Amino acid sequence: MDENLFKKEKEGLTPERGFNLVGIDYFGDPDGQLYLIEHFEMYQDALNAKKNRKNPEEFYVLYKGSGGENLSR
């Protein structure tokens, strides 16, 4: 996946408030490989949902930092 395209997708799926659990579809269109799974209000809930997935490394928790920057874990 092209790094710039991947970064734009992550930015587009980062919520203004709360935390989004996002998955990667490796077989999808190159410009749409990320997809929203669920939105959470609390970080711990999003992190637990990620850890409970079969392959947690194939998921991101996206959120805004205190300075408005887009972050992922």
Q: Are 37 and 58 in contact (CB under 8 A)?
A: no
Cα angle 51, 52, 53 (rounded to 5 degrees) comes to 90
Residue 70 corresponds to which tokens in the numbers above? 């887009």
Backbone angles phi, psi at 31, to 5 degrees: -100, 15
Q: Are 14 and 20 in contact (CB under 8 A)?
A: yes
pLDDT at site 36:
96
pLDDT by residue (tens digit) across 16-70?
A: 999 999 999 888 777 788 999 999 999 999 999 999 999 999 999 999 999 999 9
Structural domains of the chain, count: 1
Mean pLDDT of 7-22: 95
pTM over 0.75: yes
pLDDT at site 1:
53
Q: Which domain holds residue 20?
A: 3-72
What span, in angstroms and rounded, lies between the C-alpha atoms of 63 and 69? Answer: 8
